[in-house]
Structure 1
Amino acid sequence: MKKLASLTVAMGLMASIAATASAAEVTTGTTATTKTTSSDAVATVTGATYLNPADPVITPADIKPATPQIILTKTTAFHLSMGSMATPAGWLSAQTVDTTGVIMKDAMGNEWREVYTWLGTAWIKVPSSAYVINP
């Protein structure tokens, strides 16, 4: 008997929740007020405001140009400062890395690009075997 009573209460609760959810009248750009009655409960929804779905979520000011990516084909050393030929801060395996867009040339004519690594931003000397993808 307890199971039957629990089931009846659960069904009544689901019906009242469904009635409440369907009570709000959807109108664009205005405030809706609707009153709905069911056999179990009375649901009132007031002051609900709905946005126009045609309004842009991302504005042109939010869009930033993409930065170049570099496809490394072999293990490449990265350094914490540009032109530093001392001990590298770490090594990047063959992968595609994202750059910050900053490009510098050293006195020897080598191209250095600032990239994102797990240690933050770092510099790599772009190897001749790498592919640079410009957006």
Structure 2
Amino acid sequence: MGNFNFILPLEISDVVSDWFWDIIRNANQKADKLREILREMDQESIIKFQEQFLEAAAVLQDEPFLNYMEESEDGIEDVSYLVVSRGKKYYAEILNDPKKIPFTAENCEILYGLADEICIEKFGESTKVY
């Protein structure tokens, strides 16, 4: 099923494209698979991926989502990264019902940070997007 079936609010879909969500879907929540996909990209695309990952996560690092997850700054970031890592359908589900956001991201595979890792590996520098 394609990502087009899950509609995100305009303010999110303007900055987080279906291109991004297709990459996340193709990675299938597997860090090694995302590494393979990112290794095939040019530096500009890797940076774009990192920017969109952080844009999507930032939406979840505020009210009303904060009411339902652990309070530490690192914990909030990790939960938001986890939700993005699980794909557009899950992300849309959380946007529509903030109570469903995980309380913690402990013992979960998170795809954040891999763009930086691959950018350093391929081009000798990070994305510089944090």
**TM-score tier (shorter):** under 0.3
Give the TM-score taking structure 2 as reference length.
0.24
Q: Higher relative contact order by CA 8 Å / sep ≥ 6: 1 or 2?
A: 2
Structure (1/2) with the larger strand percentage: 1
More helix as a share of residues: 2
Q: Which has the larger radius of gyration?
A: 1
